[in-house]
Structure 1
């Protein structure tokens, strides 16, 4: 079956609402024969008469009444689509993927201002790890990524956002890393797709901890509770640590070893260019923000 065309449905609704083919053609700014032809095509496609034809008059059949009931909202919706993107009214669905550190320490200062200026934009902000964000951006699932960088890629561009520090979290009273065969160091980290986990594993190896028991726990609250209980150590991004209540930090010693690698966090988008809503979002962002100055 051939698909119905919007022009056919629009002409049918115009005839119903105006009462005659002539009046409908005037409203649609076309010749009457065109309206008649489109309605005939519509009836053939549907396999159903929509009008009784009596002495030049068109009277809706029961089937025509049902079709008009279903078609009216379609035509009305199509008219609304014409004005959907009026100049000066940014609209659309902007999807941003971000690391947890960006969601906790950076985007809360940006998103409210953007939405206040663009109230008709639907914003979707997704929490994802580094390597997942890169894949989603490459496949067009998100418009912007806030992730570790820079990314050297011919089809992507980036802008530095902030530098993330990593803190070593150790139970109070533990003064050294455990590296002995009978005194294995327990470590609590996010999953293997977390870049900070890889940084910390490399750091542990450089300090002789090659046989650690690494627990995968994707919750900073649970990780801190385990460290607080003396069960092991972890690394915590400072932007996350700044959001943690003092009672969750009691009994834990936090230090920032100079040789524990942090990362630069970038806004990244696909080339050849960022879409209009993405550019508007970037317009609300300072050139570089030091989120640790609090």
Structure 2
């Protein structure tokens, strides 16, 4: 049994068809079919149910998928442990919430210094990113600090203040309580903070609209569609331009930390170690405070 056989098996299980798996590997379909048949012969059991819509795992296939993921994760970790401690290299997959204002500087500093690292960035809400790090789908992620799973370790990135923002019409915080809430999907740390404030104020938002990008949310605020809760560092330029108003909430809702999380039990390669060092170096840079 070869590692490549297990990789192909996992891809067919994920895609559900030989055709789609072949495209992912740039193989001919007959090669994928032969590899699956070889694996089934070696294990003396069918791994897939074949039907018109594609392929689905048999009970035995589901068992193999669990072990296959563990084997390939260990194989990947083995490769990482023997890479040079002097020069980070290879793939680095990082997740982030959309509003990490200092992220471009961190990434730019790291990529310019370690040119052999192939860094990929994925966005999402805190809860989703936490799950992806736990499941080894990401090497780490920038998220809002919360009570994380015990298998995760966090590194503080920076602290900042969240502000409730609206268009220019409102003259008081009281007027905004009836406005629709515009936010990211459930699992967003900023949304959770604002919902906690609503709850403590006995406010039930009459309408909640979920959007997928920060840009869309901010444009919606400018045209008066509702209110949202975001880091003031992300919107200070809009406030200064007269596009929005910022409204301050008590510290228990507005003061927040962004942290970088990773699995505590994975080998700390030079690639991820140097990335954490870059984050810590960025922390030491003095940033002039701004008022919103």
Normalising to structure 1: TM-score of the pair? 0.61
SS of structure 1 residue aligned to 2:268:
coil
Partner of 1:267: 260
Q: Looking at CA atoms only, which structure, 1 or 2, has the larger radius of gyration? A: 1
Please point out which of 171, 186, 195 is paired with 2:189.
195
Partner of 1:34: none
Mapped contact 1:179–1:209 kept (Cα < 8 A): no
Partner of 1:160: 156
Is 1:100–2:90 an aligned residue pair? no
Task: Give the superposition deviation at 1:277.
Answer: 0.7
How does 1:90-239 map onto structure 2 within 5 Å?
90-102=88-100, 105-174=101-170, 175-178=172-175, 184-239=178-233
Cα separation, partners in 2 of 1:239 and 1:280, compared to 1, 3 Å: same
Q: Which runs of 5+ in 1 are unaligned?
A: 4-80
Q: Distance in 2 between matches of 1:179 and 1:229?
A: 15
Cα separation, partners in 2 of 1:268 and 1:221, compared to 1, 3 Å: closer
Q: Distance in 2 between matches of 1:120 and 1:109?
A: 18
Normalising to structure 2: TM-score of the pair? 0.61
Deviations 1:151-202 (A, max 9, x none): 444322121111132111123232243589xxx4322111112121121122
Relative to its length, the structure with more helix (as a share) is 2
Mapped contact 1:188–1:234 kept (Cα < 8 A): yes
Partner of 1:14: none
The number of aligned residues is 207
Q: Which runs of 5+ in 2 are unaligned?
A: 3-78
